Amino acid sequence: MINQQQLWDEEAAKQYDTPGEGMFSPEVLGPTVEVLSKLAGNGPAVEFAIGTGRVAIPLWEAGAQVSGIELSHAMISRLREKVGEDHIPVVQGDMTEAAAGENFSLAFLVFNTIANLLTQDEQVRCFQNAARHLAPGGRFVIELWVPQLRSLPPGHRGTVEVSQPGYLLIDTYDVLRQHVVSHHVRFGPELSDGRDARIGRTPHRYIWPSELDLMARLAGFRLESRWAGWDRGDFTAESRSQVSVYRLAPP
């Protein structure tokens, strides 16, 4: 069994933030915060797996009232270096069951993080927990990648997803269990510990869009919108990611 607390330890938290670059770049965060702000309206928002505050902090700076749930003590500590509990309260716990309050207008779970839950049952419980947090008519937003199984060569179980100076990402698949392990290989002179290379692995359970919709229905949600990204472009059969907006049905 994977120990997520050990997986997202102090070293992972230290490496997570890349200010101004990658998923922290303005072209990524700007549209994300814009969409979430509009969906929250004047109501409070809660982020499941808030991490180091990559999205929550700029959303709060934009005027939203934001709370969070986070399993990793190390990630919360990193967040607390940037903003205090009085501004963004965080409950430490599992996003399938931890409670941060009720009657939120918006709950959101970004950057593929629902896939960190490695069973279908856990992923369904995440939806159910989101429903418990929301006021009637509230929204749950999930950002998630679309499995690229068509890219698997016949007879092979892995794909090279990123190859660039100093970094290599290889994904290996178990299509029977819908599991994928991402192997992050970092190498070159920028490594501070003197090693030639460092390898990290993160396991995920991928979810098909139709399966995600069924999980939502089991928790009382209905699909309101689905886009290919935060720019709200059309979702098509060729899309590599999705941003899905679910609305909680009235009781």
Of 170, 186, 204, the one marking the end of a domain is 204
In three-state secondary structure terms, 96 is: coil
Report the pLDDT averaged over residues 196-204.
86
Tell me: do 89 and 182 sit in the same domain. Answer: no
Of 170, 187, 204, the one marking the end of a domain is 204
Region of poorest pLDDT, from 15-29, 156-170, 221-235: 15-29
Range of the domain at 21: 4-146+207-248
Binned at pLDDT 50, 70 and 90, residue 117 comes out as very high
Report the pLDDT averaged over residues 199-216.
94
Report the pLDDT averaged over residues 227-232.
97
The average confidence (pLDDT) of the chain is: 91
Distance CA 78, CA 94 (A): 18
Region of poorest pLDDT, from 23-37, 109-123, 140-154: 140-154
Binned at pLDDT 50, 70 and 90, residue 6 comes out as low
Tell me: do 82 and 35 sit in the same domain. Answer: yes
Tell me: do 106 and 211 sit in the same domain. Answer: yes
| CATH, residue 107 | 3.40.50.150
What pLDDT does 20 receive?
A: 79
Report how many domains make up the chain.
2
The torsion region of residue 166 among left (phi > 0), alpha (psi -120 to 50) and beta comes to: left
Q: Which residue has the higher pLDDT, 15 or 85?
A: 85
Tell me: do 97 and 177 sit in the same domain. Answer: no
Tell me: do 155 and 60 sit in the same domain. Answer: no
- pTM (predicted TM-score): 0.90
The tokens for 55 are 């999205």
CB 229 within 8 A of CB 243: yes
Tell me: do 33 and 79 sit in the same domain. Answer: yes
Region of poorest pLDDT, from 3-17, 27-41, 130-144, 167-181: 3-17
Q: Which residue has the higher pLDDT, 175 or 190?
A: 175
Tell me: do 39 and 129 sit in the same domain. Answer: yes
Binned at pLDDT 50, 70 and 90, residue 165 comes out as confident
Residue carrying the six token digits 């995920």: 204
Tell me: do 132 and 165 sit in the same domain. Answer: no
Tell me: do 213 and 157 sit in the same domain. Answer: no
Report the pLDDT averaged over residues 22-41.
94
Distance CA 121, CA 125 (A): 6
Taking only the tens place, the pLDDT of each residue in 52-62 is: 999 999 999 99
Tell me: do 67 and 114 sit in the same domain. Answer: yes
Q: Which residue has the higher pLDDT, 5 or 224?
A: 224
